[in-house]
Amino acid sequence: MITDALAGAALLVRGFGLVFSRRRLFLLGGLPPLITSVVFLALLITGISNLDRLIPDFATWMRVLIGIGAVGGSVLIMVLVFTAVTLAIGGPVYERISELVEAELGNATEQVSEPLSRSVPRSVRQSVALLLVSLAGAIVFALLGLVPIIGQTVVPVVSTIFGSWMLCLELIAPVFQRRGLLTIAQRREAMGRHRARTLGFAVPTFLLLAIPFVSVLIFPAAAAGGTMLAQDLLPSSRS
């Protein structure tokens, strides 16, 4: 399990090495997260600066707990929404990164064709579904964050694992879709068979994406690392 988790974490490092060797692609891949980082950081700062107005006039300890829960929930929501928005803005770039990684590793496959009239609605439905699940989870974790001790110890760990899992569902999608594996359930099942490797990649990626502007460097590497992880998860690539 530990070996698998470390192997998963190494994929992010390998992904960085692959995209950095192609400077132009790396710079293009960093532009979408730069744009979204500026917008989301402004929103987060605005939200934190207005916490005093939003939190009722409770006792100081209660206000602190509510503040921690609100900030934690906001960070979780922002990383997940940030990922969805960045992938939407930079979709063609990250698709190109994914294809180059597969070609580099010699595992490229002929893309299964899907009419645009079907692929676009499906992608929108899946993105909305993942976003709604993420929002629901963020609200639950924000409320649990109000519970003394557990809210400041267990909840941050569990919410990070949850956020990492949801992030990974997005990052491995291009490889699965090119092979005609179009449903979220197929990705989730593949990730479930190799949880340690999946979380070994997804958790550090999630935590780094939560740091403003670090995501500009991490996102192109995450797209490449997600491609390598997806290949590891596919049964045909592990035979």
Domain boundaries, the chain: 2-234
For residues 223 and 171, is the Cβ–Cβ distance under 8 A?
Answer: yes
| Nearest partner of 230 among 124, 135, 97, 126, judged by Cα | 97
Q: What is the mean pLDDT of the chain?
A: 80
- Compute the average pLDDT of residues 95-102: 86
Q: What is the pLDDT of residue 151?
A: 73
| Nearest partner of 201 among 231, 180, 156, judged by Cα | 231
Which amino acid, 86? T
CA 198 to CA 194: how far, in whole Å?
6
55 Cβ contact partners less than 8 Å away, ≥ 6 residues apart: 63, 66, 67, 70
| Nearest partner of 212 among 53, 61, 78, 64, judged by Cα | 78
For residues 199 and 5, is the Cβ–Cβ distance under 8 A?
Answer: yes
For residues 223 and 15, is the Cβ–Cβ distance under 8 A?
Answer: yes
CA 130 to CA 80: how far, in whole Å?
9
| Nearest partner of 80 among 164, 155, 9, 139, judged by Cα | 164
Q: What is the pLDDT of residue 112?
A: 66
111-139: pLDDT as tens digits: 666 676 777 788 778 878 887 887 788 77
pTM score of the predicted model: 0.81
Q: Give the N- to C-terminal CA distance of the chain in Å, as an integer.
A: 19
CA 86 to CA 64: how far, in whole Å?
32
- Compute the average pLDDT of residues 163-171: 90
Does pLDDT of 59 surpass 60? no
Q: What is the pLDDT of residue 239?
A: 45
How many CB atoms lie under 10 A from the CB of residue 216? Answer: 19
